[in-house]
Amino acid sequence: MIEKLNDLTHDCILEFDENIKSFDFLLIADVHFDSVSCDRELLKKHLDEVVERNAKVLIFGDFFDIMGGKFDKRSSKGDLRPEYNTSNYIDNVVDDAVNFLSPYKEYIMFISPGNHELSILKYHETDITKRLAKALDAEVGTYGGWIRMRYSFKGYGCRGSYKIAYNHGYGGGG
């Protein structure tokens, strides 16, 4: 379970059975899902491994490339997947991402925006990070912030916590 404490902090609460020795997370950023350069086979391989390990996924910005819109000065039709060459480009990309990630929905806990998503919010007034997170029942983060991981083991009373600071960094676009 993950919950928002304030605009910059999320609390991730994990409770484990006493026989658990370790727990895995997949931390990813800069997937650029809709780019022709995105290796979707590799992404799927990693997500399938998440399922095998019963791990959790946290996405830290630029899941989308989303630079193929007709008003985007960074746009290059050569970098656009053919299935997205439509009049409702942004909607198609978001819908495709939801379809791709839906089999992994129960494992994806958190999604934060990067400079590509924030550019779409700024110039097109739609929050594609929030749309994706809502469809996947994931918590939405900000460009940078903190995640506090709190864990406990059933039957042992053993517990602890650690903090993860994240920031998508400075992107030159948008």
Domain count along the chain: 1
In a domain, 85, yes or no: yes
In a domain, 162, yes or no: yes
In a domain, 174, yes or no: no
- Domain span holding position 30: 2-167
**Whole-structure pTM value:** 0.90
Is the Cβ–Cβ distance between 113 and 132 less than 8 Å? no
In a domain, 145, yes or no: yes
pLDDT tens, N- to C-terminus, the chain (174 residues): 899 999 899 999 888 877 777 789 999 999 999 999 999 999 999 999 999 999 999 999 999 998 877 666 666 666 678 898 888 999 999 999 999 999 999 999 999 999 999 999 998 899 999 999 999 999 999 999 999 998 888 777 667 889 999 999 865 554
In a domain, 156, yes or no: yes
In a domain, 172, yes or no: no
